[in-house]
Structure 1
Amino acid sequence: MLLAATGDRLPQVVYWGPPLPADAPVDTLARAHAIDVTGGMLDENPDVSLSPEAVRTFPGQPGLILRDHDGTPMLPKFCFKDAVQDEDSLDLVYDDKINGLTITFRFTTDNRTRIITAKTILETDRQVHLHWLAAPVLPAPQQSDEMIDVSGRWCGEFQLNRTSWSPGMRFRENRTGRTGHEHFPGLLIPCLGATNTQGEVYGFHYGWSGGHKMIAEELPDGRRQIQWGHASRMETQAGTRFESATLYVTYSPYGLNGCAVAFQRHVRDRIVTWPKGQAHPRPVHYNCWEAVYFDHKLDVLKDIASRAATLGAERFVLDDGWFGQRDDDTRSLSDWEVDPRKYPDGLGPLIQHCHAEGMTFGIWFEPEMINPDSDIHRAHPDWALGGEDQTLGRAQKALNMALPEVRDFIYDRMAAILSKHDIDYIKWDHNRVLPMPDADQTRGSYALIDRLRADFPMVEIESCASGGGRIDFGILQRTQRVWLSDSNDALERLRIQHDAALFLPVAVTGSHVGPRRCHTSGRMLDISFRAWVAAQRHMGFEMDPRELDDHEVAVLSEVTAWWKANREWMLSADIHLLDSPDPSVLAEQQQHREGEQFVVFAGKAGTSAQIAPRPLRLTSLEPDARYRVELINRHNAPALSRGYPLLKEQAIEVSGTWLMHHGVTLPWNYPDTMWVLEGRRL
């Protein structure tokens, strides 16, 4: 990335792409970046700077909007003050002496993950009101005809939207106060002809767990700018210092996968902190939610725990319903004390039983929420965020996390549970949107999690918000796992996991084998498909194991054992999405960091248009190397698969060139099935 400035004006990015030669003529490149002017234009094109300024007749959206302490609109004009650069970081400092403002643009680079991080910091000499502060503004390529951003819904997260570029603005703003199912803060801009595996792509992610805004604007002269920041007017109080969240960006010459692998590696290796170290095996989960819901009976839970352990589970997670008078989802949130009706001897007997079965123990909290029907709300109604007449969500309000007394109360209740019991995992839920966007709410939640992490450093945390409602790199700085969706429907999960891999690695993405009849879709799916879809990510179970017949027990045990045998390398693998010639097949290649082995999951999400499977090309292999490839679940081929593709009979040894240019020919199979190939470089 090459930045340049004219005189003392704010800099702009004049090149962003493959590495330039060390002796590149940067002065020439900076001047050669300028575009022509003609009739009807200004005599010089205003810069698409790191914070475009309205006062310099910039024709698009400015990067900063603020008012003075008395409400007067301000039009900043920044001039160069200082630059501090070392091997992998750069601070550019500019000030506006007339208005008493200083703006700093902070960049860091990571050569191993190929991520550049960027942040904007605004400091003032008096109280001002901030309406909009963009992270460093970057250009978008003009060799692109579309952009890909991410929307979604409950049980349907990570839906990719392709929007054509046109004059004007693509404006997306999330004002729900959390990351949101609907507005995952990610953007991918493919250049013409780019696919999963080839072509140029630019990637963006805004690492913030509150309301946020994205602007993708094409100016009248054809130039394009990308802006990310907190949602407008998120700062409800005047202040003297404001900063954006971190913007993570990358460039890929290898299609969408180049961006995906960069984001995956950066999350796993730089953002997440692992209590027992990254090399420690991630345990197979069992979560009891869809087995018992609120109906907690100790003997039943012990029986379920024993069955889960027999299947291969290594961690038991006690979900909602263990505290207060929590017999349904309308009461007791914030009354974080063990229910003596359900647990007359406390949680100890259940935890001891799980430990005896070889499992660790995790527990569910929803710390930032409160039910009106709770002891704490009756004692402190003023702790709730928003008006008394607000619309409830799941019969609950949000606590005002900006209040220190609220954070202290939640901390004390949670710390009491964690201190008394051997608990190594929290499922941290967040089941409603906020009544208004407020950056202090997000900062307060961060402060609470940070305090708990400091005092209980060996406890892992999963970010859940009705499934995927709070997934971003900001929350992942404080957690080790995300609950991608409340849907345990393997067919829905296949698609959600596939698209989420553009930003998220295997290690942080929880995926569970759900009940035979899915509780959120009503769909019934075969145990093999359910198990293999869960085995694509951090594997777990979330069903009543008492419903399983002998065949289902055998299949689930076999797939779980396979996952355990491979997790050491898979949890640090890169996920490459494959360019499937059959739209009904969602295929990915999880590859060892050094390329020595891989596994391909080819999930069939519907009926194919053609009668026989088309060859599936692999990616990112060494062309001249030989690979041994085996279809490890070929025994699942149905009677209607009547031919003799070689992979249905035996492993094959072929070159990387053949695998990437001809591709593997898989047997025919029904919809809602998964083929699994193992590959190893010889």
Structure 2
Amino acid sequence: MPRTHARTLTLRAAGTAFVVELTEPVPRVLHWGADLGDPAEAAAALALTADAAVLDNALDEPRRFTVWPTERDGWSGTPAQEGHVAGGGAAPGPLLTGSRHEEFPGGGGEIGLTLTDPGTGLDVELTYHLEPSGVLAAGAALTRAAGAGPQPYDLARTTTLLPLPGRATELLDFTGKWSRERQPQRRPLGHGGHVREVRRGKPGLDSPYLLVAGVPGFGFRGGEVWAVHIAWSGDQRYLAERLPEGAGAHAAVLGGGELLRPGEIRLAPGDTYRTPVCHFAWSDAGLDGLADRFHALLRARPGHPRTPRPVVLNSWEAVYFDHDLDRLRRLAERAAEVGAERFVLDDGWFTGRRADTAGLGDWYVDADVWPRGLGPLADHVRSLGMDFGLWFEPEMVNPDSRLARAHPDWILGPARGRGPTSRHQYVLDIAHPDAWAYLLERIDTLVGEYGIAYLKWDHNRELHEAVHGPHDRPAGHAQVDALYRLLDELRARRPGLEIESCASGGGRIDLGILQRTDRVWTSDCNDPVERQAIQRWTGQLLPPELMGTHVGDAESHTTGRVTDAGFRLATSLFGHAGIEQDLTRCTPQELARITAWTALHRELRPLLHSGRQVRADLPDDAALLHGVVAADTRAALYCWARVATSPDAQSGRVPLPGLDPARAYRLRVRTELGLPALHQTAGPAWFEAALAGWVTVPGAVAVRAGLPMPQLNPGQALLIEARAAG
């Protein structure tokens, strides 16, 4: 007798489909990936083919991988929910009690599922929201029922999981360290779990960032890929897991959630825990296709920056702690002369802050250094046509500070005594109501008093032994929640205020913090050799306009490497550009080149901050080709860069990705930043012609056949502009 299929719910957007079947007791995901066409026909066929074989020595009915997988389903992998009630209630058995389904006119929609678990007294509200970009946002709210009894439910972990097909057998995620963030690492997905846990109180410099599963050999421009990103600014857990028996009709699972410390979430009757949103995305166009979806998601946010991103001068590597009004006035004047549009005063302006060993937490202007306050500098900056920004690190405190001495109970740490400092800092318990109110008052007052347009919000140390109170209750979740509330309140009070997420450089880059900030500081390292890779992979999630990309001194302050000015300028062009050096010590020739660079950035900014990021798949990691292509493919800017020497003497034909093969394009080399040092006697003919003017090339040749590239010396870069002909 044919089986009667339950009702199916489908969401579709941008070539992606998500299909849920309302089976009982718990629904299951039938499909996540490519749009399969007519939703009714596809859903019926998916439901018909949803059950795998009944295996020997296994459950006597087909295993099903549900939306809230538990052992009741025969799922032996990581469950959706782990916890207990006074040592009991450890076998969740949720039941579907309600559902809703909404499709949006512009594509996408939302599915809501309500589950009730009588054994644990939990109600679970699952939400799947498919954006027009094709990114699926999934999350849950767990509420302890009011009549569930006096004992709290101790929630150990929740994991949001989606199924993967058998062809997704290769994994990509990221690691890193200070000044070398977001370094890719790949491996096969075998049986068992690939788990990345973050226990740093923030995503960290070694953040997994994205966990990508794909077909073998997927690259920037090709291959089918599935990915997850956890939108949470604290401890996290990423997971890809494959069992021999599969996951229902699927082969493996992908997902993640917040990493909770024991006892951190205790749900009394009426209490609710909301999981971080996990953003899932699928693409059949490789990593660039995946990046397209995330960039479209971010650019569609109501709060996404719409005005041109101002060129920034940040004072840190120019003066460090040597704050002197006259010196900073001169620096601001040079910044305005070369075309900067924003001046940011970095660390060193507040009470007792002559080095990084003291003063942190005392958010009052140092009267000894600034007897008239910051007003004279801020007013001077604005008189030069720039807006004024200021550095803060609100979540940290030096033991040598008035704040620490007056309020030791505001500092996180065990009751037995705090462990060693890191960077001479402890962590301020910003979930403490009085500490939270102090920070809000101080920051809001300074923003109002000095007309601050921009906050550089830093977070340098990691959270170890992040507990508070006499019983050492875990504080990581509450810390992130308090941070979000603080940022939200500041933005509500100061609607025009822009905020940068900085955490020892790129240690807190996630879509949770980016709901409340306007850009990230990509890395403390301005060395262009390192930056080429760091920016390349940061762009897997973020569009260029959200990435701070600054040009620094010839000798990098973090690596000591000396690099060519043209290479530094070309590298920092592809983002939210800025300057991180003492312009008062530059020669007239150096200032002229930086002026040319800011003018070039302003010219190309509309393209760079709205187009599609593209990256070429090249066999040689020492050479890089990346760029930005306009949405209508009529314009593009590419960077051809070399970071090291190679065994091969020639690059061969290199395709220019992202252009339309059906168009013809005019190409030229932009020379405003100077010509790179070349490792050749003469360049390819098209290149020599493009140095003098426009060269017309059929799009099919540029995209499919490719162009032989000039041979660059290491540490050199070249800018190639493309415009549609006619």
User: Secondary structure at 1:162's aligned position in 2?
Assistant: strand
Offset from partner CA, 1:325-379 (integer Å, 9 cap, x none): 0011011111000011111111011111111221110000001111111101111
Offset from partner CA, 1:522-570 (integer Å, 9 cap, x none): 0011111111111011110001113322332222221221001111232
Does structure 1 conserve the Cα–Cα contact (< 8 Å) formed by 2:655 and 2:707?
yes
Distance in 2 separating the partners of 1:590 and 1:403 = 45
Structure 1 residue 48: deviation in Å? 2.1
Q: Is 1:249 matched up with 2:265?
A: no
Structure 1 residue 412: deviation in Å? 0.8
Q: How does 1:518-537 map to 2 (within 5 A)?
A: 518-537=556-575
Residue in 2 that maps onto 1:140: 164
Question: Which residue among 170, 193, 210 is the counterpart of 2:194?
Answer: 170
Distance in 1 separating the partners of 2:206 and 2:277 = 20
Does structure 2 conserve the Cα–Cα contact (< 8 Å) formed by 1:235 and 1:438?
no
Distance in 1 separating the partners of 2:597 and 2:22 = 61
Distance in 2 separating the partners of 1:586 and 1:383 = 48
Residue in 2 that maps onto 1:124: 144
Does structure 1 conserve the Cα–Cα contact (< 8 Å) formed by 2:22 and 2:28?
no
Q: How does 1:453-464 map to 2 (within 5 A)?
A: 453-464=491-502
Distance in 2 separating the partners of 1:474 and 1:487 = 24
Residue in 1 that maps onto 2:511: 473
Structure 1 residue 266: deviation in Å? 1.1
Q: Is 1:67 matched up with 2:105?
A: no
Return 603-612 or 319-328, whichever deviates more: 603-612
> Can you give the 5+ residue segments of structure 1 that lack an aligned partner in the other structure?
none
Counterpart of 2:34, as a letter, is: P
Q: Is 1:425 matched up with 2:457?
A: no
Question: Which residue among 602, 610, 624 is the counterpart of 2:648?
Answer: 610
Return 466-475 or 85-94, whichever deviates more: 85-94
Residue in 2 that maps onto 1:376: 403
Distance in 1 separating the partners of 2:19 and 2:42 = 13
Return 297-306 or 30-39, whichever deviates more: 30-39
Structure 1 residue 54: deviation in Å? 2.1
Does structure 2 conserve the Cα–Cα contact (< 8 Å) formed by 1:424 and 1:458?
yes
Does structure 2 conserve the Cα–Cα contact (< 8 Å) formed by 1:329 and 1:394?
yes
Question: Which residue among 37, 51, 55 is the counterpart of 1:34?
Answer: 51
Counterpart of 2:387, as a letter, is: T
Structure 1 residue 640: deviation in Å? 4.4
Residue in 2 that maps onto 1:647: 687
Structure 1 residue 631: deviation in Å? 1.7
Offset from partner CA, 1:245-271 (integer Å, 9 cap, x none): 11111111111111011111212322x
User: Secondary structure at 2:707's aligned position in 1?
Assistant: coil
Does structure 1 conserve the Cα–Cα contact (< 8 Å) formed by 2:315 and 2:581?
yes
Counterpart of 2:322, as a letter, is: D
Does structure 1 conserve the Cα–Cα contact (< 8 Å) formed by 2:208 and 2:238?
no
Distance in 2 separating the partners of 1:363 and 1:2 = 44
Distance in 2 separating the partners of 1:5 and 1:593 = 36
Offset from partner CA, 1:280-325 (integer Å, 9 cap, x none): 1110000010111111011111111111111111111000000010
Question: Which residue among 290, 300, 305 is the counterpart of 1:259?
Answer: 290
User: Secondary structure at 2:649's aligned position in 1?
Assistant: coil
Offset from partner CA, 1:180-226 (integer Å, 9 cap, x none): 11124311112134221112111211100000101211112242112
Residue in 2 that maps onto 1:208: 232
Distance in 1 separating the partners of 2:91 and 2:528 = 53
Residue in 1 that maps onto 2:632: 594
Residue in 2 that maps onto 1:352: 379
Residue in 2 that maps onto 1:273: 303
Distance in 2 separating the partners of 1:499 and 1:404 = 38
Distance in 2 separating the partners of 1:329 and 1:73 = 50
Distance in 2 separating the partners of 1:681 and 1:497 = 27
Return 628-637 or 491-500, whichever deviates more: 628-637
Distance in 2 separating the partners of 1:422 and 1:674 = 39
Q: Number of paired residues?
A: 675
Question: Which residue among 369, 373, 394 is the counterpart of 2:423?
Answer: 394
Does structure 1 conserve the Cα–Cα contact (< 8 Å) formed by 2:678 and 2:710?
no
Residue in 1 that maps onto 2:97: 81
Distance 1:31 1:235, change over 3 A: farther
Question: Which residue among 212, 222, 238 is the counterpart of 1:188?
Answer: 212
Residue in 2 that maps onto 1:230: 258
Consecutive aligned runs of 4 or more in structure 1 exceeding 6 Å deviation: none
User: Secondary structure at 1:118's aligned position in 2?
Assistant: strand
Q: Is 1:151 matched up with 2:175?
A: yes
Return 650-659 or 250-259, whichever deviates more: 650-659
Question: Which residue among 19, 24, 28 is the counterpart of 1:3?
Answer: 19
Counterpart of 2:110, as a letter, is: S
Offset from partner CA, 1:363-408 (integer Å, 9 cap, x none): 0000111111110111100000113332211111111122111110
Counterpart of 1:241, as a letter, is: T
Return 468-477 or 611-620, whichever deviates more: 611-620
Does structure 2 conserve the Cα–Cα contact (< 8 Å) formed by 1:202 and 1:252?
yes
Offset from partner CA, 1:591-634 (integer Å, 9 cap, x none): 11222211111221111221122222122322211111112139
Distance in 2 separating the partners of 1:25 and 1:171 = 33
Offset from partner CA, 1:27-46 (integer Å, 9 cap, x none): 33123132223333333343
Does structure 1 conserve the Cα–Cα contact (< 8 Å) formed by 2:18 and 2:33?
no
User: Secondary structure at 2:524's aligned position in 1?
Assistant: coil
Structure 1 residue 4: deviation in Å? 4.1
Q: Is 1:94 matched up with 2:115?
A: yes
User: Secondary structure at 2:96's aligned position in 1?
Assistant: strand
Q: Is 1:555 matched up with 2:593?
A: yes
Does structure 2 conserve the Cα–Cα contact (< 8 Å) formed by 1:631 and 1:648?
no
Distance 1:56 1:639, change over 3 A: closer
TM-score, length-scaled by structure 2 = 0.90
Structure 1 residue 429: deviation in Å? 0.3
Distance in 2 separating the partners of 1:481 and 1:391 = 32
Distance 1:234 1:530, change over 3 A: farther
Distance in 1 separating the partners of 2:638 and 2:262 = 44
Q: Is 1:55 matched up with 2:72?
A: yes
Does structure 2 conserve the Cα–Cα contact (< 8 Å) formed by 1:63 and 1:227?
no
Offset from partner CA, 1:575-597 (integer Å, 9 cap, x none): 11111243211221201122221
Counterpart of 1:40, as a letter, is: N
Distance 1:234 1:226, change over 3 A: farther
Structure 1 residue 76: deviation in Å? 1.1
Return 100-109 or 579-588, whichever deviates more: 579-588
TM-score, length-scaled by structure 1 = 0.96
Distance 1:38 1:464, change over 3 A: same
Structure 1 residue 462: deviation in Å? 0.2
Q: Is 1:109 matched up with 2:130?
A: yes
Does structure 2 conserve the Cα–Cα contact (< 8 Å) formed by 1:141 and 1:191?
no
User: Secondary structure at 1:138's aligned position in 2?
Assistant: strand
Residue in 2 that maps onto 1:509: 547
Distance 1:235 1:676, change over 3 A: farther
Does structure 1 conserve the Cα–Cα contact (< 8 Å) formed by 2:678 and 2:711?
no
Q: Is 1:304 matched up with 2:331?
A: yes
